[in-house]
Amino acid sequence: MRAQVDETQIVAAVRRAEARSSGQIVCVLAQKSCDSGGAAARYAGVLACLVPWPLLSATDWSAQSIFALQVAVFLGALLLLGLTSLGVALVPRAERRRQAFRAATEQFFTRGVGGAESRAGVLIFVSLAERYARILPDGALAQTISDEEWREAIALLTERLRDGRVTEGFVAAIDRCGALLERAAPSKGGGNELPDALIKLD
């Protein structure tokens, strides 16, 4: 699923939220986080192995022709499953979530959210293929913002993502995070440390 996203609305929401606090909000939208190559290869192999049986009993094809068809089926299935969300669906849900969480954590550190001088950085991460969303705050914010409050922000995001309203989901989560940061990390008039633009990962 490749969603239409209005990046200008997301940037405006980030700037609006950051103007009310010393917090830094980074938004990341990934098309896919899960490596489905292994699952795609297994299922493609099974399909290729099934090819000869009906052909051996119902046709007079040569072994070379059947083998060539097996190879074609394997490569076609591997390409289809590896390049589309079908392959992701074959990966167990727990593994999909584990890989998506790892991707979110990598983005948290790669984008400098955990190293913001304000110690008030927040990452809002969405991975579309896995239907996964996560908000990762700097550890220093845990002292003043409860897990329940972060879950409320996630709920605002996920309920809109389920309807395909990606832009609205980000904006709602950003606004909620902005309100939490306004209380936990009041503005000190510092500069903007991290980019406001939506980061998109293919």
Same domain, 67 and 106: no
End residue of a domain, out of 90, 112, 133:
90
pLDDT score for 67: 86
pLDDT digits (tens, 9 = 90+) for 96-109: 899 999 999 999 99
pLDDT greater at residue 198 or residue 44: 198
Q: Is residue 1 part of a domain?
A: no
Name the domain boundary from 46, 68, 90: 90
pLDDT above 90 covers a percentage of the chain that reads 54
Same domain (yes/no): 41, 60: yes
Number of domains in the chain: 2
The residue with tokens 């406001």 is: 196
Say yes or no: 132 and 165 in one domain.
Answer: yes
pTM of the model: 0.79
The CATH number of the domain holding residue 22 is: 3.10.310.50
65 and 103 part of one domain: no
For 26-75, how does the pLDDT look when each residue is reduced to its tens digit (9 = 90+)?
999 999 887 766 666 776 788 888 888 788 778 888 888 888 888 898 88
Amino acid at 146: S
- 168 shares a domain with 114: yes
Residue 156, domain member (yes or no): yes
Written as one string, the DSSP assignment of 151-177 is HHHHHHHHHHHTTT-HHHHHHHHHHHH
2 belongs to a structural domain:
no
Calculate the average pLDDT of the chain. 88
Gyration radius from the chain CA atoms: 22
Of 55, 90, 125, the residue that ends a domain is 90
- Check whether 186 has a pLDDT greater than 70: yes
Q: Which domain holds residue 50?
A: 37-90
The verdict on 128 and 79 lying in the same domain is no
